[in-house]
Amino acid sequence: MGDYMDENVEFTMLYDIYGKLLTKKQQEIFEEYYLYNLSLREIAENKNISYQAVRDSIKSSEVTLKNFENVTHTLDLLVKMKKAYNLCDSEDLNKKRQQLKRLLKSEDDI
């Protein structure tokens, strides 16, 4: 997915899709870090846990979210659907249809 977007945006989008599959504690820490932009120290202080525990939780959540994406490819599909929609929103539809066919044909896993 990294080809499509910034890593922070990617993790936020993965969280939107798969976040409910994380533990409640992982969700809280992930949200404080990625959505509320708190530092690891601030989160550690807020949660009364170590800096290392916060770091480990975030890294574990990132790995888990990427693993879910590697299995389901949901975010990848959503990105492709958005590209397809944008291709269709054009005056030169014949050219865009050909581009769309190539885009969809290039992915055997769909």
**Report field, pTM of the whole predicted structure over 0.85:** no
pLDDT given at position 2: 47
Residue with tokens 């959503």: 78
pLDDT given at position 102: 84
Q: Which residues of the chain have pLDDT under 70?
A: 1-5, 89-91, 106-110
pLDDT given at position 97: 74
Enumerate residues 6+ apart whose C-beta is below 8 A from 11.
34, 62, 65
CB 38, CB 32: distance < 8 Å: yes
pLDDT given at position 3: 52
Residue with tokens 């910034």: 6
- The rounded distance, in Å, linking the Cα atoms of 30 and 59 is 9
Enumerate residues 6+ apart whose C-beta is below 8 A from 79.
1, 4
